[in-house]
Amino acid sequence: MTCPDCGHDNIGGVDTCDHCGQDLRSIDVPGPKEGLQRRIMETPLRELMPSEALLAGPEDPVAMVIRRMQENKQGSVMVVDQGRLVGIFTERDALKRLTGRRLDLDKLPVREVMTRDPRALQDEDTLAFALNRMAVGNYRHIPIVSDAEPLRFVSVRGVLRYLHEHAR
């Protein structure tokens, strides 16, 4: 890796130039170039106009939560206890945790089958950060928390819709 200050040829991956001490950590970090790449790297999540989340309490019966998801055509519900996000219940949770079991969904509290303490993002987090979090965590829905806004979420479908509308 060549130092941009002194031109010294350093071993790839070093943090500082062996000759002049220049910080080289940002040289091999990809930056946005143009078009879609720039949009993904720089767009804050608030620009995606994230949907307001459906909310449930931890003691709400799973049958009611699923019914609410169906009625609102949403794939997730944020579980909130005393104003704090404590879990998320998704279509995937329903498939993985309910299928093949004999359960009374009218009595089973959602806290028993939700994903606890979900990773949440902020409005100012970028689309690239959200995509990375989704890929690494194998998530399709991520809560967005903010002091000024109601609880919202970003989904794979929402990201794809945004990218389709803004791809140029």
pLDDT at 28: 64
Q: Is there a single domain that holds both residue 7 and residue 86?
A: no
- Residue 5 placed within a domain: yes
- Residue 37 placed within a domain: no
Task: Quote the CA–CA distance of 164 and 3 in Å, as a whole number.
Answer: 39
Strand partners, 61: 109
pLDDT at 167: 75
Say how many domains are in the chain: 2
**Domain of residue 48, residue span:** 42-166
Asked whether the beta carbons of 145 and 88 are under 8 A apart, the reply is: no
Residue of 20, 45, 47 lying closest to 120 (CA atoms): 45
Q: Is there a single domain that holds both residue 74 and residue 8?
A: no
Tallying the residues shown for the chain, one arrives at 168
- Residue 154 placed within a domain: yes
Q: Is there a single domain that holds both residue 18 and residue 63?
A: no
Q: Is there a single domain that holds both residue 14 and residue 49?
A: no
Domain of residue 116, CATH code: 3.10.580.10
- Average pLDDT per consecutive 10 residues, the chain (168 residues; last block may be shorter): 88 86 77 76 91 96 98 96 94 94 96 95 94 92 87 92 84
- Residue 129 placed within a domain: yes
Structure token pair of residue 8:
């010294």
Burial of 12 (0-12, 13-18, 19+ CB in 10 A): exposed
Q: Is there a single domain that holds both residue 79 and residue 101?
A: yes
- Residue 35 placed within a domain: no
